Structure 1
Amino acid sequence: MSDEQHDDGDAPLGIDQLLERVRAGYQRLGPQDAKAAAEDGALLVDIRYAELRARDGLIPGALVVERNELEWRLDPLGSHRAAEAVSHGLRVVVICNEGYASSLAAESLHRLGLYRATDLVGGFQAWRAAGLPVEV
């Protein structure tokens, strides 16, 4: 079978097409809406790697979870879940640096049953550019 053939007959997607498809499945939030969601009980989850957090700071109250641990930590049924991962109905706002990896992460959370997961348009950089609180 060649690289262009697949068992299911679907043509491969490029990352831009994949992001478009993933993002069509939920409503993304801008910085002000993400802040309001957190004030209403949503869990902000920062998946940026340590160097970016050290360089740019943290969003106060956000749960820091490395991207490679996200599903393990947020699965309410998982043995390694974070204390905050209390139900599949938890509102989760995933935050990466610029809003790309967070979209894929939110889609992965949807597959785990976290149907209210979303992400922050523009990521941490948009949060900071909007003048929202950052701890350095």
Structure 2
Amino acid sequence: MTAQPPAGQHPVGIDELLDKVREGLDRVEAEEAYAADRAGDALLVDIRYAALRERDGLIPGALVVERNELEWRLDPQGSHRAPEATSHDLRVVVVCNEGYASSLAAVSLRQLGLHRATDLIGGFQAWKAAGLPVKQ
């Protein structure tokens, strides 16, 4: 037996879901994320899986947390939090490969109370295309 949506609601496709969650995010372009990182105003969090990081490189200084560990590592109240997860006021910019999974991840962080969480428009590929620093 499959679960049905409540009466009067239709199943939501991923494109519609992305549009909906992005309405609540102050998404940032690569140059803005770079400037915020350099100024110490944001923590860049790379959620790409290892094969993509090995293929394309890393953003210097970004915290690498694979997607399946993100909430545990960024929850300021969590017992498994990263040292960087200091406060619910922390501005987190989530970076995925192309800027799709990062939107969903940022919303999940907001549900944990990280009210300034957002994501990088175009993901790592936009960062790289903008000519911003990448290390191999």
Structure 1 equivalent of residue 52 of structure 2: 52
Q: Does 1:43 align with 2:43?
A: yes
Matching of residues 102-117 of structure 1 within 5 Å: 102-117=102-117
Matching of residues 60-71 of structure 1 within 5 Å: 60-71=60-71
Tell me which amino acid in the other structure corresponds to 2:70.
Answer: L
Alpha-carbon distance between aligned partners in 1 of 2:7 and 2:35, rounded to the nearest angstrom? 42
Tell me which amino acid in the other structure corresponds to 2:67.
Answer: R
Which region of structure 1 is more displaced relative to structure 2, 38-47 or 74-83?
38-47
Structure 1 equivalent of residue 22 of structure 2: 23
Change (3 A) 1:57 1:20: same
Alpha-carbon distance between aligned partners in 2 of 1:50 and 1:37, rounded to the nearest angstrom? 25
Structure 1 equivalent of residue 9 of structure 2: 10
Deviations 1:12-70 (A, max 9, x none): 21000000000000110000000011123210000000000000000000000000000
Structure 1 equivalent of residue 76 of structure 2: 76
TM-score normalised by L of structure 2: 0.95
Tell me which amino acid in the other structure corresponds to 1:26.
Answer: L
Equivalenced residue count is 135
Shift of 1:2: 6.5
Identity of aligned residues (%): 72
Q: CA RMSD in A?
A: 1.3
TM-score normalised by L of structure 1: 0.95
Q: Does 1:132 align with 2:132?
A: yes
Secondary structure of the equivalent of 1:115?
coil
Structure 1 residues not aligned, in runs of 5+: none
